[in-house]
């Protein structure tokens, strides 16, 4: 959530940033925020003055009674009673303005940092670099949705039988490959100083608002109606919310957490060849990395986190590229995002496998996540997270890029985890 002070003091900068996102209602919403805030501040001032007057007058009543001025005391008592009724009305009015303020602020996405390019869609993203070698496959090479049937390692039909489309069943070496990747990613994160956590996979409404999934993405989340809980779309939500309403000391920073969870996304409106097979699922596994940093450290941290995720792709022997997302393609809460894509040799296309984002103070302001510096002053922190990594498209790329006429070769880094080096 954007800070009110930032909107008031840097209005044009905020509007320019929202224009970079192509946020159509920016001028109207920002104007409403500023106008509503002024009404709130004016009301607060009147309320404070009236409370002060009422308290002063209440004290005078006793003095007047002691002095035998009962008529004046009675008149003043009636005035105080009237002022108390006015105070109640003003408090209701103030509460209305404060609720309206939150509703308006929730409508505003984060302002992109200056480095983020303007643009409307993924076509306007900037390729930062490409690394790795795209493999040359044999003439009978297959896409992963055919390979999984050939080797009987993932079954979509069984998933449909049990749950519906987008819920695959992993079998045999397919299940072992999933488990191997999860353990590999967690072990690598631990080597980088991340503390592993295993959070709940359902969250309450406050958690959804805390990290920005609500009210922006409620249509993409599975909702448990009777309990008012949401299945998590990513471990970012519960892990970051561990620090909601928390004031950290400098000695507790930086915070570095990693966690594996299943993730659930309705993906409403998704169809076509680009979502075939493992390319897009309703349930999938992912290891998430989350950091909480001082503001002056966060952009260096974003680079370090992205480089770390790239190292995972290198160890898995997958060709990849880094993209700097344009304003129109970024997530609602992000100030800057890098996407990492791997090249699928059988599909002849790039597949997104990770997004690494800096949210600056946007989430921290919603979460009331602050730290106390050595001078005793409190300040909002910056939150960052990234996929380290999401499994479905990694599995798809491993299967497709490593297929041979004798079977599917397992990357050397995974063999200690899978306990086999080929799927045949």
Binding residues for ATP: 265-267, 352-355
Which residues participate in the annotated binding site for L-serine? Answer: 234, 265, 288, 385
- Say how many C-beta atoms besides its own lie within 10 A of residue 134's C-beta: 13
Residue (of 4, 14, 103) closest to 44 by Cα position: 4
| Alpha helix segments (H runs only) across 163-296 | 173-191, 205-211, 236-241
14 CA to centre of own chain: 20
- Say how many C-beta atoms besides its own lie within 10 A of residue 191's C-beta: 9
R_g of the chain computed on alpha carbons: 27
CA torsion sign for 224, 228, 234, 239 is: negative
Q: Where are the beta strands (DSSP E) in 144-267?
A: 154-155, 169-170, 195-196, 202-204, 223-224, 229-231, 247-249, 255-264
* DSSP label at residue 372: E
Could you identify the residue written with the tokens 């989350």?
290
Could you identify the residue written with the tokens 């970079």?
20
Distance between CA atoms of residues 413 and 312, nearest Å:
10
Dihedral Cα 378, 379, 380, 384, nearest 10 deg: -110
Query: 271 vs 49, 66, 268, 370, CA distance in Å?
Result: 60, 83, 9, 42
Which residues participate in the annotated binding site? Answer: 234, 265-267, 288, 352-355, 385
| Alpha helix segments (H runs only) across 212-359 | 236-241, 298-315
Distance between CA atoms of residues 352 and 212, nearest Å:
21
With contact defined as beta carbons under 8 Å apart, do 390 and 235 qualify? no
Residue (of 234, 364, 340) closest to 288 by Cα position: 234
């Amino acid at each position: 959530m954007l800070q009110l002070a930032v909107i008031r003091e840097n209005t044009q900068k905020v509007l320019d940033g929202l224009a970079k996102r192509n946020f159509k209602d920016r001028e109207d919403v920002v104007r409403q925020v500023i106008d509503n805030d002024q009404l709130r501040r004016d009301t607060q001032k009147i309320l404070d003055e009236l409370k002060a007057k009422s308290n002063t007058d209440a004290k005078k009543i006793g003095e007047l009674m002691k002095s035998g001025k009962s008529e004046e005391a009675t008149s003043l008592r009636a005035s105080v009673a009237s002022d108390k009724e006015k105070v109640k009305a003003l408090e209701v009015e103030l509460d209305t303005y404060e609720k309206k303020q939150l509703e308006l602020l929730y409508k505003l996405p984060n302002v992109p940092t200056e480095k983020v390019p303007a643009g409307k869609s993924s076509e306007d993203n900037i390729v930062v670099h490409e690394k790795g070698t795209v493999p040359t496959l044999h003439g009978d090479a297959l896409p992963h949705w055919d390979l999984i049937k050939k080797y009987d390692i993932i079954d979509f039909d069984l998933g449909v039988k049990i749950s519906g489309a987008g819920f695959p069943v992993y079998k045999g070496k397919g299940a072992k490959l999933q488990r191997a990747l999860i353990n590999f990613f967690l072990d690598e994160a631990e080597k980088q100083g991340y503390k592993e956590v295993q959070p709940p996979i359902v969250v309450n409404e406050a958690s959804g608002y805390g990290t920005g999934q609500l009210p922006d993405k409620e249509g993409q989340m599975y909702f448990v109606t009777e309990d008012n809980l949401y299945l998590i779309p990513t471990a970012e939500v519960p892990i970051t919310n561990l620090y909601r309403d928390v004031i950290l000391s400098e000695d507790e920073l930086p915070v570095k957490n990693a966690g594996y969870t299943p993730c659930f996304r309705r993906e409403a409106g998704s169809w076509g060849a680009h979502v075939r097979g493992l390319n897009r699922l309703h349930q999938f596994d992912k290891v998430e990395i989350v950091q909480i940093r001082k503001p002056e450290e966060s952009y260096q941290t974003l680079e370090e986190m992205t480089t770390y995720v790239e190292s995972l792709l290198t160890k898995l022997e997958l060709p990849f590229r880094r993209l700097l997302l344009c304003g129109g393609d970024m997530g609602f809460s992000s100030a800057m995002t890098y996407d990492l894509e791997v090249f699928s040799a059988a599909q002849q296309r790039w597949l997104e496998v990770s997004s690494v984002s800096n949210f600056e103070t946007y989430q921290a302001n919603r979460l009331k996540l602050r730290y106390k510096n050595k001078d005793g002053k409190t300040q909002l922190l910056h939150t960052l997270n990234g996929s380290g990594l999401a499994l479905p498209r990694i599995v798809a790329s491993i299967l497709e890029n490593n297929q041979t006429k004798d079977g599917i070769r397992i990357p050397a880094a995974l063999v200690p985890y899978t306990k086999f080096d080929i799927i045949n």
